[in-house]
Amino acid sequence: MDMTRLRGTAVSPGIAMGEVLLPRRVVFTSRKELIVEAQVPDELKRLHQAIGRTRDDLVKVKDNIREKMGQENAFIFEAHLLILEDPSLVGGLEAIVRDDKARAEWALSKTNSRYEQLFESLADDYFRQRKSDVSDVLTRVYRNLETRREKEKTPQKEHILVAHELLPSEAALRLTRELTLGIALDMGGQTSHTAILARSLGIPAVVGLRDITRWVKDGDFIIVDGTDGEVIIDPPLAVRREFQAKKDKYENYGRELQKTAKLKSETLDRVRFVPQANIELPEEVSLALSMGAEGVGLFRSEFIYLRRESLPSEEDHFEIYSRIARGAHPHPVTIRTLDIGGEKSLPQLNIEKEPNPALGLRAVRFSLRNRDLFRIQLRAILRSSVGKNVRVLIPMVTEVDEIVDVKDIFEDVKEELRRKGEAFDERIPLGVMIEVPAAAALADLMLKEVDFVSIGTNDLIQYCLAVDRSNEFVSYLYKPFHPAVLRLIRSVIQAAQRAEKDVVVCGEMAADPLSAIVLLGFGLRTFSMNPIFIPRIKKALRSVECRTAEKIVEETLKLRSAQEIEEYVIEEILVRHPQVFLTGQPVEAKPK
Ligand code: PEP
Ligand code: MG
């Protein structure tokens, strides 16, 4: 076969080279095999036996995953058990067997297509991808209809897993760090569970390749480029060499950056800075620490809701917060209360559609409207603070009165816990996010009410420049170096310095080397970002002198446009600290 190159979505970085393994795929029948009336009871019994076997399998998988990867990953299978026990699903299957007088295989096939169509019509990408969860359950039942079940062989040698779609339960069971070198799938997207699992296991993966399963067979040699989103089938020697070199370079660079994790977080002139991690899942804590994070600067708690179908209980919240707090101890952990509403709507919260979601009932506005939910969350956060390393962060405040309201509720919840004799950190710090220009303008007054502020530049830029952060038509106007944005950020940092209170930047700007240097020059010392960017930010900040950064930013404030500012900063850094732009060895701080 000649070399073929397929493009897909890169969801887990790195390069893998090896032989294809194609797991046996269940294909739902398209043939309606009919039965006679007298056979219906037996066919229903057969269906129920398969459902029973599936339930046993799922309980086993769930326990296995909980042991291997923690409760948070096992939740997928709890959701699967709920799907399996859903009376409307089971009732629907029975009705097809009874009314159509057809085999259970046909009932499963028909039901699967119905759900596929339903999910495909949903606008929300996250929920569209949940289609695979229902499919996963139905596939298992389908397999369990076979009486003599053909046991799938577990792979014994290194391989690249190629499949049409990797259902969550298959992903959790099949993927092993030792044998699965890479993953290439016809289907899938960034937020699919398979993508999340591949990233946390460090397995390079490309998904959304459409028809790779038609191009390869077991044993074919392929390359998976999880960084650029490409798969190369049957590459000639020269291409293998080229990718081997790319793989070596990628792994060397990774190792080198990783070394930075152990080096001190200080600039060339020995000014200390603190890199922290933004996380969405508790299992990210250990990765964050290994990347050099000195704490969790932002835990986006809305992901607790995104990962389940019902409302989380206080115990669910508590378990997750405690796990993060213990995992990061003694470093601080900042838990942001629910930042939901507007376009991030969740079915279990029954949020109404709003004409202008970004300006609607979001974040703290939602929490103050739904105080019972808010109190549950605050109670759980307080209870998880016994190790004295937890901080609470309130998203998207626009006026001081909101903070006063939040503090009243917070005090009330504390009192409730005291009455019950529940332990918590009496001095737990409370902070607010500065994400709208109004909050930035009032930073001095807000700082009188709170212990710290965190600048959410992702939203601050969107609200300051009136540019939707997720609208590609106006993305050319989304400019972190816009002079108005820089002035706002600087004024907040200065207000915090005057108030002698902590200030953090937790938006994407903290993860960009050039922006981080500008923020350093403004006086920022705590940078919170996606853990994978910590090494490069540490490297960049270790390569500059803080006093140079201070001088550079003074000049930038006189410039008129984002472009002028960016060009100026690049030129100045290039002249004084070219190391920032190099991908070589991390530099050691020079003795004074
Ligand atoms: C921000 O707005 O910068 C931020 C960190 O919050 P999120 O990205 O979750 O809105
Ligand atoms: Mg935000």
Domain boundaries, the chain: 4-23+153-256, 261-581
Rounded CA separation 485/562 (Å): 9
Question: Which pLDDT score, from 0 to 100, does residue 123 have?
Answer: 63
Residue whose entry in the numeric block shows the structure tokens 């695979």: 132
Three-state SS at 431: strand
Atom of ligand 1 nearest to the CA of 508: 3
Three-state SS at 397: coil
Question: Which pLDDT score, from 0 to 100, does residue 349 have?
Answer: 73
User: For the CA atoms of 14, 20, 23, 25, what is the dihedral angle to 10 degrees?
Assistant: 100
Q: In what order do the strands lie in the sheet with 15-21?
A: 4-7, 230-233, 221-225, 15-21, 159-163, 180-185, 205-207, 9-12
Start-to-end CA distance of the chain, whole Å, equals: 62
Token pair in block for residue 203:
């397995």
Question: Which pLDDT score, from 0 to 100, does residue 327 have?
Answer: 96
Nearest to 569 by CA among 523, 580, 487: 580
Q: How far is the CA of 566 from the centre of ligand 1 (A)?
A: 23
Question: Which pLDDT score, from 0 to 100, does residue 590 have?
Answer: 36
Rounded CA separation 169/472 (Å): 34
Q: How far is the CA of 168 from the centre of ligand 1 (A)?
A: 28
Pocket test for ligand 1, best of 300, 302, 453, 508 (most atoms within 8 A of CB): 300
Residue 298: φ, ψ to 5°: -160, 115
Pocket test for ligand 1, best of 303, 344, 433 (most atoms within 8 A of CB): 433
Token pair in block for residue 361:
């009932």
Question: Which pLDDT score, from 0 to 100, does residue 469 have?
Answer: 79
Continuous H helices in 175-274:
193-201, 212-215, 237-262
Question: Which pLDDT score, from 0 to 100, does residue 589 have?
Answer: 36
pLDDT in tens, the chain (592 residues): 568 999 998 888 899 999 999 887 677 888 888 899 999 999 999 999 999 999 998 888 788 777 766 666 677 788 888 889 888 899 999 999 999 999 999 999 999 888 888 877 776 666 665 667 788 889 889 988 876 444 455 567 899 999 988 776 667 667 776 789 999 999 877 656 677 678 767 799 999 898 899 899 999 999 999 989 999 999 999 999 999 999 998 888 778 777 888 899 999 999 999 999 998 888 889 889 988 999 999 999 987 886 677 889 999 999 999 999 999 999 999 999 999 875 566 666 777 778 888 898 899 999 999 999 999 999 999 999 999 999 999 999 999 999 999 999 999 999 999 999 999 999 999 999 999 999 999 999 999 999 999 999 999 999 999 998 777 688 889 999 999 999 999 999 999 999 999 999 998 899 899 999 999 999 999 999 988 889 889 999 999 999 999 999 999 999 999 999 999 999 999 888 887 776 544 333 333 3
Rounded CA separation 349/165 (Å): 30
Domain 4-23+153-256, what architecture?
Answer: 3-Layer(bba) Sandwich (3.50)
Token pair in block for residue 490:
């600087």
pTM of whole model > 0.75? no
Ligand 2 (ion): which residues have CB within 5 A? Answer: 435, 456, 459
Q: Which fold has domain 261-581?
A: TIM Barrel (3.20.20)
Taking residue 329's Cβ as centre, other Cβ atoms within 10 Å add up to 15
**Amino acid symbol at 45:** K
Does residue 109 contact residue 29 with C-beta atoms inside 8 Å? yes
Q: How far is the CA of 467 from the centre of ligand 1 (A)?
A: 15
Atom of ligand 1 nearest to the CA of 456: 3
Question: Which pLDDT score, from 0 to 100, does residue 152 have?
Answer: 53
Please list every protein residue whose CB sits less than 6 Å from any atom of ligand 1: 298, 300, 339, 435, 456-459, 506-507
Which residues are annotated as catalytic? 193, 506
